[in-house]
Amino acid sequence: MTYPKELKEYPKLEEKTYPFRLFFNHSKGTKPEQNILFLHWHEHFEIIVMREGRAIFHVDSKPYEAGPGDVIMVPSGGLHVGYSLQNGDVSYVSIVFHASLFKDRNQDSQHEQFVAPYLSNLYQFPVMPAVQNPECTSYYSLLDRIISEVEAKEPAFQLVVKNKLHLFFTLLSRSFPPQQMNDRQQSERHSINRERFKPLLEYLETHVDQKMSIESAARFVNLNAFHFCKTFKKLTGRTFIDYVNLCRMDEAERLLRETDFTITEISGRVGCDNPNYFTKLYKQYKGQTPTGARK
């Protein structure tokens, strides 16, 4: 399976013995459709625990709305991105861990039967387990305990986190037994559309100065323009033009922060021939002018 390296993230975990880490994400004063989690993938599992505000996360082409207390399960290798749904603060905790965290349990027959199939991606839990089985909300207190353990960092907190994560996966496997899962999730994960679009997304991220029409992008992935636009929106949560503009303004923001290029030079480097249009576009996506951002 080919993954674009530009979209791949390499989370720095606690240590090799306990490969996990928690990321506390807080976006202040967000606006609807503001990006709060950039499109990426990694080989680790990720559990997103919403704490404040409302957001929409796209996981492998499907949108999932979440508010305080909701949990999003991102499988290993899953493309995911997030946007705010409101005016105001949005915060969530990402629990990121590698399957090797449980390698010492590989000789346990119960682990091999109930948990291992999910760690190996043979099966996947629903992205929002509680939507399909409300009983799963009773397991979410385990995630709260994990968060509090990491915040307190008392002796042997790593062991507590490891055991709570394993218990969480075990209880979820009761709700969604591997032998009862259908092949739909597997087929979606390995769908041709997902693999088709990854090289295109990598190209857009790394060639922000190049112009590409919808028709050209559709040919890139061997789809007609109508199905391309529909599939692209499902995958990223944005239209093709909107996504291209966001990539350009993200690169412009980086150039403003890290270089001494003039506004006109930056405009050209991100594919905008008209500096006035660039300024208008930057303000639309970043909430201030390029001059204001540089100051």
Looking at the structure, tell me whether residues 182 and 200 fall in a common domain: no
pLDDT at 190: 43
Looking at the structure, tell me whether residues 51 and 90 fall in a common domain: yes
Query: How does residue 256 score in pLDDT terms, banded at 50, 70 and 90?
Result: very high
Check whether 3 has a pLDDT greater than 50. Answer: no
Encode pLDDT of 177-211 as tens digits.
Answer: 876 545 455 445 445 566 678 888 888 888 999 98
How far is Cα 248 from Cα 242, in angstroms, rounded to an integer? 10
- Residue 256: CB atoms within 10 Å: 20
**For the residues 23-34, what does the mean pLDDT come to?**
92
Count of domains observed in the chain: 2
Looking at the structure, tell me whether residues 148 and 277 fall in a common domain: no
Query: How does residue 265 score in pLDDT terms, banded at 50, 70 and 90?
Result: very high
Q: State how far the alpha carbon of 277 is from the alpha carbons of 47, 134, 210, in Å.
A: 40, 49, 16
Q: What is the CATH classification number for the domain harbouring 92?
A: 2.60.120.10
In 3D space, the residue among 136, 119, 117 whose CA is nearest the CA of residue 128 turns out to be 136
Looking at the structure, tell me whether residues 134 and 226 fall in a common domain: no
In 3D space, the residue among 108, 71, 96 whose CA is nearest the CA of residue 19 turns out to be 96
Looking at the structure, tell me whether residues 200 and 276 fall in a common domain: yes
* Burial class of residue 288 (count of CB atoms within 10 Å of its CB; 0-12, 13-18, 19+): exposed
Identify the domain containing residue 141 by its residue range: 5-187
How many residues are recorded in the chain? 295
> Average pLDDT of the chain?
86
Tokens at 111, concatenated: 């682990």
Q: Label residues 37-48 b or e (16+ Cβ within 10 Å = b).
A: bebbbbebbbbb
Local structure of 274: helix, strand or coil? coil
**For the residues 237-252, what does the mean pLDDT come to?**
88
26 CA to centre of own chain: 15
Q: Is the entire prediction scored with pTM above 0.85?
A: no
Final residue before a domain boundary, out of 137, 170, 187 = 187
φ/ψ of 253, rounded to 5, equals -60, -40
How far is Cα 80 from Cα 220, in angstroms, rounded to an integer? 21
